A and B are shown apart, each in its own frame.
Chain A
């Protein structure tokens, strides 16, 4: 059986070898052609270009263009001087002209816990507490509606900024979570396994 198959296989092998040789030679010839054109055509091309350059070399406009740092970019440009100072805007987040007794209605009921409502003045100016527990101050200092405690607590050292994003809010992190990583790595393993399997199966797929 092997001997029967040998001559067609040898033929195919020979064909393949010839094809490869032809391809190799063709590529070589193409490369040689390019090199030859470059060698022979190079000076001719350069002569035309040279004459053009020499003709424009003495043109003052081309001299100006040659020394130019280029056109100004499209990006943001900074003014060399600021406009004369006018009235300055100030951010006064902690100043309220409403009656402290009334309190603000919660902007987002899902964000502000109910416990914070009676003392909701403080909700805007979130007091600085230990980082990582933005809602802890709500429970402790504002026990109830009758709490005589101060309605405003100044930020302590290292206090959090007045605005704290809601926990679990719609801000998506740029870094994939561990689960995502795990699935991705699993996927790579799966692809690798499939490739290995195909490589192993290949001889079996050939007829006889």
Chain B
């Protein structure tokens, strides 16, 4: 009986050793390698922004057959919290064509200026009963202090993108909540987005299923 317990213990130790021996070898070298890859890009500040090589800009496929190049992206480590956002327009051109990519599957919105990502936030989107439309849209109307008639609710820094009332606006972004089709972003983020976006700027909303594949 005692030897049986011993055998079981040894087996358990072996099982536990197996992943333990495998995992730590992989982890530390990845960062070193990626840092080395990124080091050739001039003026690269790790942790804040990933700069792409000028001859090898990635192209983002967007709804409606659009394609946009990405010159740099925010280097956000780990998943973002609901209600949090990153805004960083340091060291990127002050002018350039604006566009927004909304990824419903990942619940993430990214703002680009001249191919540089300047902001990203966790979003809320429509329920299955009132889904957020997907595709390519443009900003139709801007209203900093908008009050919805349909819902009798404040929608600060509203950027309307459809004629039937779907908009990007400030909202209390919390987990487990959804909108009636609008895209809710944290109010501070909405304010910044409102400032940089103009009427006619494109907004691409990627459906959840495509985002899963991509």
Contact = CB atoms under 8 A, between A and B. Distances in A.
Interface of A: 20, 23-24, 27-28, 30-31, 34-35, 38-39, 41-43, 45-46, 49-50, 53-54, 57-61, 63-73, 75-85
| Chain B interface, DSSP helix/strand/loop, else mixed | mixed
Interface residues on B, range: 35 or more
B70 A35 contact: no
Contacts, number: 151
Given A61-B60, A81-B153, A69 B80 contact: yes
A31 B34 contact: no
Contact of A59 (B58, B124, B152): B58
A128 to B, nearest CB: 38
B150 A67 contact: no
B146 interface: no
B25 A82 contact: no
B105 to A, nearest CB: 6
B191 interface: no
Interface of B: 3, 6-7, 10-11, 13-14, 17-18, 21-22, 25-26, 29-30, 33-34, 37, 50, 52, 58, 60, 70, 73-82, 101, 103, 105-108, 110, 117, 120, 122, 124-125, 127, 148, 150-153, 171-172, 175-180, 184, 208, 212, 214
A34 B127 contact: no
A45 to B, nearest CB: 7
B178 A28 contact: no
B175 A39 contact: no
Contact of A31 (B10, B127, B208): B10
B26 A68 contact: no
B178 A78 contact: yes
